[in-house]
Structure 1
Amino acid sequence: MDHGAKIAGKTRTDFMLDAACEKAEELLLDRTLFVVDTERFERFQQLLDAPVNRDAFDRLMSRKAPWD
């Protein structure tokens, strides 16, 4: 682990945090079913139905995806 951190130019802590985040992202991206309560689902539907903020959308689409 220390060798990997050194090669990456990171501290051991940063290296381990990055590895943990990558694993969490991988796990979430592999999920196909998300269970939420009624309140959160209704909020989700409201967000889907809301008009698109074009500036925010353009900023989002210009960001690099975490898996790239």
Structure 2
Amino acid sequence: MASKPTPDTHTRAVNLRIREDVRGLIDRAARAHGKTRSDFMIDAARRAAEDALLDQTLVRVDPESYRHYLAVLDAPPDGEGFARLMKAPKPWQP
């Protein structure tokens, strides 16, 4: 007896109308990554959706915490860790 798909594994079709040149571009990119067109588009859409939602993150704090946060951002960097970082050899310098 076959088991029913769970919500995590159940897939549904999504139909898109797309210009031929864009479809060709997507197909070339998918082949370059060794993916099917569908897998490539799903991965790209998922990443774009995650980025869009992460950009919408709102952090609410009380006014005093916000003032402290701004003061920390406005203060010049200092401290032992910062001094050590600034003295460390730079990979791009001989």
Structure having greater relative contact order (Cα 8 Å, sep ≥ 6): 1
Q: Which has the higher helix share?
A: 1
Taking structure 1 as the reference length, the TM-score comes to 0.46
Please, what TM-score do these two structures have when normalized by structure 2? 0.34
Tell which structure's C-alpha radius of gyration is larger.
2
